[in-house]
A and B are shown apart, each in its own frame.
Chain A
Amino acid sequence: MLGQPLIEIDHVEKSFHNTVVLRDISMKITKGECACIIGPSGSGKSTLLRCINALVPVSRGSIIVDGIQVNDPNLDKLALRRKVGIVFQQYNLFPHKTAIQNIAMAPINVLGRPKEESYERARQLLAKVKLSEKADAYPGELSGGQQQRVAIARSLAMNPLVMLFDEVTAALDPETKKEVLFTIRDLAAEGMTCILVTHEMGFASEVADHVYFTDGGMIVESGTPTDIFKAAQNDRTRAFLSQVL
Chain B
Amino acid sequence: MMEPIARWFKWLSSTHGLNYSVFFDNYDQTLFLKGLQTTIFLSLACIFLSIMVGLIGAWLQGSRLRAARIGTAMFVQFFRNTPPLVQLAFFYYAVSSLLPTLTDQFGAQAPIINNLGWAIISFSLFAGAFNIEIFRSGIEAVPTAMTEAAESLGYTRFQIYRIVVVPIAFRICLPSLGNNLVNLVKTTTLAYAIGVPELLYASAQIWSEAMNVREMMVLLLITYVALVAVLVGLMQRWERSLRIPGYIA
Which A residues form the contact surface with B (CB < 8 A)?
A: 53, 55, 77-78, 81-82, 84-86, 88, 90-96, 105-106, 109-111, 137-142, 151, 154-155, 158
Q: A88-B149, A94-B164, A95-B168 are in contact. Are A140 and B155 (CB under 8 A)?
A: no
CA–CA, A137 and B151, complex, Å: 23
Chain B contact-residue range equals 20 to 34
| B248 contact set on A, CB distance < 8 A | 140
Residues of chain B within 8 A (CB-CB) of A55 are 148, 151-152
> Contacts A138-B246, A139-B246, A141-B246; is A81 near B146 (CB within 8 Å)?
no
Residues of B within 8 A of A110 (CB): 153-155, 159
Contact status A109-B148, CB under 8 Å: no
The 8 closest A-B pairs by CB, nearest first: A140-B246, A140-B247, A141-B246, A81-B154, A92-B149, A92-B145, A106-B153, A110-B154
Partner of B146, one of A85, A94, A137: A94
CA A142 to CA B153, docked complex, whole Å: 21
A88–B148 contact, CB under 8 A?
yes
Contacts of A137 in B (CB 8 A): 245
Q: Which of B139-178 contact A (CB under 8 A)?
A: 143, 145-146, 148-156, 159, 163-164, 167-168, 171
Chain A residue nearest to B153 (CB atoms) is A106
Instruction: List the B side residues contacting A92 at CB < 8 Å.
Output: 143, 145-146, 148-149
Q: Is B70 an interface residue (CB 8 A)?
A: no
Contacts of A94 in B (CB 8 A): 146, 149-150, 163-164, 168
A109 touches B171 (CB 8 A): no
Most A C-beta atoms less than 10 A away, residue of B155, B164, B171, B244: B244
A141 touches B163 (CB 8 A): no
Q: Mark B227-249, 1 if CB is under 8 A from A, else 0.
A: 00000000000000000111110
Q: How far is the CB of B166 from chain A (nearest CB, A)?
A: 10
Could you name 12 residue pairs across A and B whose Cβ atoms are closer than 8 Å?
A81-B153, A88-B148, A94-B164, A95-B146, A96-B244, A96-B247, A106-B153, A110-B155, A137-B245, A139-B246, A139-B247, A140-B248
CB contacts under 8 Å to A, within B120-155, are: 143, 145-146, 148-155
Q: A90-B143, A96-B247 are in contact. Are A155 and B153 (CB under 8 A)?
A: yes
Most buried by B among A81, A86, A96, A105: A96
Kindly provide the distance from the CB of A20 to the nearest chain B CB, expressed in whole angstroms. Answer: 23
Is the Cβ of A90 less than 8 Å from the Cβ of B163?
no
- By a CB distance below 8 angstroms, the chain A residues around B155 are 106, 109-110
B145 touches A90 (CB 8 A): yes
Which residue on chain A has the smallest CB distance to residue B249?
Answer: A95
Least distance between B160 CB and chain A CB atoms (Å): 10
CB neighbours (8 Å) of A93 from chain B are: 149
Which residues on A sit within 8 Å (CB–CB) of B148?
A: 55, 88, 92
Chain A residues with Cβ under 8 A from B244's Cβ? 95-96, 138, 140
Contact of A140 among B151, B168, B245 (CB under 8 A): B245
Residues of A within 8 A of B150 (CB): 94
Known contacts A92-B148, A138-B245; is-contact A78 B167 (Cβ 8 Å): no
Contact between chains at B152 and A105 (CB < 8 Å)? no
Considering the chains assembled together, what is the distance between the CA atoms of A151 and B246 in angstroms?
Answer: 17
Q: Which chain B residues (200-219) contact chain A, with CB distance < 8 Å?
A: none
Contact B149 A77 (CB under 8 A): no
Q: Which of B145, B151, B153, B159 has the most CB of A within 10 A?
A: B153
Q: Which residue of A has the minimal Cβ distance to B146?
A: A92
CB <8 Å contact, A154 and B145: no
Contact check, B159 vs A95: say whether CB atoms are below 8 A apart.
no
- Contact between chains at A109 and B151 (CB < 8 Å): no
Within 8 Å CB of A53, what residues of B? 152
User: How far apart sit A55 and B153, CA to CA, in the bound complex (Å)?
Assistant: 11
Q: Which residues of chain B are near A106, meaning CB under 8 Å?
A: 153-155
Contacts of B246 in A (CB 8 A): 138-142
Give the distance in Å from the alpha carbon of A109 to the alpha carbon of B143 in the complex: 21
Q: What are the residues of chain A within 8 A of B152 when measuring CB–CB?
A: 53, 55, 81, 84-86
Given A55-B152, A106-B154, A109-B163, is A141 in contact with B168 using a C-beta cutoff of 8 Å? no
Query: Within the assembled complex, what's the spacing in Å between the Cα atoms of A78 and B151?
Result: 9
